[in-house]
A and B are shown apart, each in its own frame.
Chain A
Amino acid sequence: MGEFKVHRVRFFEYMPSPIRAMAFNSRTDRLAVARGDGAVEIFNFADNYFQEKVIPGQDSRAVEALCWVGQRLFSAGLNGEITEYDLENLRPKYTVMAYGGPAWTLSMSTECFLCQVGCEDGTVKMFEILEERIQFQRNHDRQKGRIISLSWHPSGTHIAAGMMGMIRIFETETGSPANKEVVVWSVAFLSDHTVISGDSAGKVQVWDGFTGTLIKTHLITKWDVLALSDQSSLVAGTSEGTVTQFQFLPLIVGQQDKEWVRTRTFKNHSHDVRALAHTETAVVSGGMDTQLVVQPLLDRVEKNTQESALRKIAFPHRSLVCCAKKSGLLLFQFPEHLELWRLGESDGHGKPGDSLPVRKKPEKLIHLKRKGEDHICCSALSPCGGWLAYTTVSSVRLYRLQYNNNSISIKKLPKLPKELCSAHQLCFSSDSSKLFASSKHSSVIVVALGQSECKYLHTLKPKSGYGTTEQPVHLLFVSEDSKWLAAANTGCEIHIYNLNKLKLHCTVPVYSSCPTAIAIHPVTSNLVTVHANQQIFEYSLAQKEYTEWSRKLQKQGLHNLWLERDTPITHISFNPNNQAHIILHDMFMLCIIDQSLPLPDRKTLLYNQMTLRSVPESERLRHSHAFKICKNFQHLLCVSTLEDQALVVVERPLLDIMSQLPAPVRQKKFAT
């Protein structure tokens, strides 16, 4: 077993953006999450909560509300615009100005295909949802204050609007005797004409929608109640980070009189909860602590199964770090800029577990700000470090880097081929002579890189006629000998192209779970894929079939503890000195799979590194199995190998992220 020098990188100051709104589509089992920087992410709840798609944000797009209408996704924001998103090309399809000032809330009625927008100027604007666009219909009467929250009655005949200090139901009038200016952050209109409101005084109030009278008040927190979601039950999210559940139950068992009773409280967040959604079995919450939490409701799932476990999704399910293998450079992707760093150096030698002295500190070479308003979608660095590229929804930019002794110069390539107008994924070939960019309909554009110019070569297209080639490509990998290119899309398809002949070689048999990481072995040219349900496959490109090892793995089945991990593998790399090694990582662990060792069966101890160390060396081989898992480094954003037998491990401890979040509420506890 080889020894590695590990570059432990903690200078990637990655800060995720807080969650502002979310909407669950129960028909497709997708959750759409809007972040504070305007990015919209789609999670597939049926495929192990995999973050399928990410639409990058934009400077002025401050999303306040998200809504699904069938398969279409709409958002409204503080820039006064209503946006429909193109989920196949990962960009906004179009925007419509509401002309009412900032839009605070959005509510859709799927029966009558109408959409309501609550605006800053006090109007509730109605839009009709047509096939290719939405069209303004009319305004409701203008109110005195801004409309912060809206809710449709399920029948579509009434709307409840929460404003500053009162709730108003259109078609009838109601008011609440509030002494100070209370903000009604959210309302929910139930089918029995009950209106439930959450306000800044920390109360969840139940109103009779017909008479406008208050039925019951629940004071659940000292701070604000920011979000409500009602479906199977009612949940309220607060500034404290708690989510309180209410259920419509009779106070005494057996009696008929039902009322809204506070049942459970979950404290899964450290900061304010701004958005809530219901799925059939769980409550999903998100807020200022940037983590998405899925809390299964134990009355709907079986206890002690994987379904009933609490899930926290903190890191993105794609790589934000690009490592240039040959030159020891790292490229960090932020939403609004890129950073290029050179790794530090160390001469020392030591035993496993030692910390080596650093001779030369890592240094930041370039801080590149993106141009325009759009956020960066994807970035790439060539292995030699001479080329840098990034894409946004509207453009692709390519830069040439030159290193002279201690200085570095960067030059933008002014004219790019017109085919290279927008891409979702970028990849450089290992000799830095070609750039591959994924484009519409899962096609890949090949561009040749000259000394200071680039020329369009070819477009690689998958076979048309497949149902899901409309889905965007989210993974792209070029083999080290530049013979093969693998492209995976969110429709679970993986296409292999032969780069010498510049045509499609084959399509890997579609597996039901989406691939989360793909890589081609430099020596054996086998494609290794890991999927959202933690399955691993190895496919031989030459023979166009699964390898012997892969079949053995499938037959034996993966260990339970491996399958129960709740974060996906986001990067696969290989060991230049040992071709039997596959290096994988997720957020909490780094694993080296040794294909020459036997596979563990269900009863074997999976995390056996500690016990192996205690066994004398001659005995170790007998007890080893293929999965060597190391949990020394946390929390992992990227693990990659360099040419000189070194590992680069980019960590971003969650504690560091938490210390830079906005202020949480002050909770006075005894003896503190």
Chain B
Amino acid sequence: MAKDQRGKTTTSPSKKTDTEKQTEDTTMVFESSDDEAPEEVTFDASRTEALRSMKQALDTARREKELLKEKRRKRQELFQEQKKIKLLSDDVLEEMDSASSKKQKQSEAAEEQRQDEGENGKKKKKKSRKMEHSRNLKGNYRVATVKVVGALASSQQQAAEDFIQSRLYGAGSCRTTNNELLSLQNKTGRNKGAAVQFVKKDWACKQKAKAEKLKKRWIHKQHIPSC
């Protein structure tokens, strides 16, 4: 902190100036002889000095931080631009390639969708019609009107439905299963019965399927010599 002045407090009248300056401070002691007195640094001065240097330190720290931030931001921007440039160049390449590659991608996607839709049913059902309202422009481009789904509205709707779900079925809602409810009814009803789903039906389904196949094969084998 401030420089400590060695000396004692005296009440000699020669130190009038000092006593004048001794206003509120009782903590600091500063006194020097008349001759060859070193610089008089009052407490206030040294305090202000100290505060200033503190502020300076803080300022420099802040500035450094800001500088760092700036640097980081600039670097990020640079990366983004580079990325964009990269993408753009890909786009350009794509366009330059040919319209056929784009169409190929679309037909592939359509194929995928068709395959996706043939999930449960054994055979194919309906054809997917991708890009219903689309037109060809100069061969290389395809313009398609996208149905205005309102992504914001659907996300809000989902949030609202999640709210109901969480309030009624979420944590702390004290729910049980239908199986338990029905089993309790069986237990306490007039005609008492076993729990519902007493037997686990989905137990060992792979083994059961294998056994079924073997049975069919054996039956088939048995029939061949007879016919």
Contacts and interface: CB of A to CB of B under 8 A. Distances in A.
A663 B157 contact: no
B182 A658 contact: yes
Interface in B26-55: none
8 contacts: A120-B160, A364-B120, A366-B123, A412-B126, A663-B175, A664-B178, A665-B175, A669-B188
Given A62-B161, A101-B160, A369 B125 contact: yes
A78 to B, nearest CB: 5
B190 interface: no
Contact of B176 (A222, A239, A366, A665): A665
B157 A60 contact: yes
B175 A410 contact: no
B131 interface: no
B153 A79 contact: yes
A663 B160 contact: no
Given A410-B124, A666-B174, A224 B168 contact: yes
A420 B29 CA distance: 106
Contact of A408 (B123, B173, B184): B123
A222 to B, nearest CB: 7
A80 B168 contact: no
Given A62-B157, A410-B126, A661 B178 contact: yes
Contact of B174 (A200, A223, A364, A408): A223
B126 A371 contact: yes
Contacts of A464: none
Interface of B: 117, 119-127, 153-154, 156-157, 159-161, 163, 167-169, 173-182, 184, 187-188, 196-197
Contacts of A399: 126
A374 interface: no
Interface of A: 60, 62, 78-80, 101-102, 104, 120, 146, 183, 200, 222-224, 239, 270, 272, 364-369, 371, 399, 407-410, 412, 655, 658-667, 669, 672
Which has the most chain A C-beta neighbours within 10 Å: B119, B159, B160, B197? Answer: B160
B176 A664 contact: yes
Contacts of A658: 178, 182
Given A101-B153, A101-B156, A666-B176, 8 more contacts: A79-B153, A80-B153, A222-B174, A365-B122, A368-B126, A663-B176, A666-B180, A669-B184
- Closest CB pairs A-B (n = 9): A666-B176, A102-B160, A663-B175, A367-B121, A367-B120, A78-B157, A78-B160, A101-B156, A659-B178
A656 to B, nearest CB: 10
A62 B164 CA distance: 12
B181 A664 contact: yes
A270 B181 contact: yes
B161 to A, nearest CB: 6
A659 B175 contact: no
Q: Tell me what chain A mostly uses at the interface: helix, strand, loop, or mixed.
A: loop
Nearest to A79: B157
Contacts of B175: 663-666
Which has the most chain A C-beta neighbours within 10 Å: B126, B157, B187, B197? Answer: B157
Nearest to B119: A367
A412 B129 CA distance: 12
Contacts of A101: 153, 156, 160
B157 A655 contact: no
A672 B174 contact: no
Contact of B121 (A78, A223, A364): A364
Nearest to B158: A78
Contacts of B123: 365-366, 407-410
Contact of A183 (B121, B156, B167, B184): B167
Contacts of B180: 666
A28 to B, nearest CB: 31
A666 B181 CA distance: 8
Nearest to B128: A371
A207 B122 CA distance: 61
B180 to A, nearest CB: 8
Nearest to A181: B167
Contacts of A200: 167
A65 to B, nearest CB: 13
B196 A659 contact: yes
A672 B119 CA distance: 43
A102 B156 contact: yes
A17 to B, nearest CB: 14
B166 to A, nearest CB: 11
Given A102-B157, A666-B174, A655 B196 contact: yes
Contacts of A120: 156, 160
Contacts of A80: 153, 156-157
Contact of A659 (B153, B174, B176, B179): B179
B157 A239 contact: no
Nearest to A363: B122
Nearest to A224: B168
B117 A369 contact: yes
A320 B180 CA distance: 30
Contacts of A659: 178-179, 182, 196-197
B17 to A, nearest CB: 66
Contact of B125 (A79, A222, A366, A667): A366
A80 B157 CA distance: 8
A665 B173 CA distance: 8
Contacts of A407: 122-123
A60 to B, nearest CB: 7
Given A80-B157, A101-B156, A410-B123, A663 B167 contact: no
B161 A78 contact: yes
Contacts of A102: 156-157, 159-160
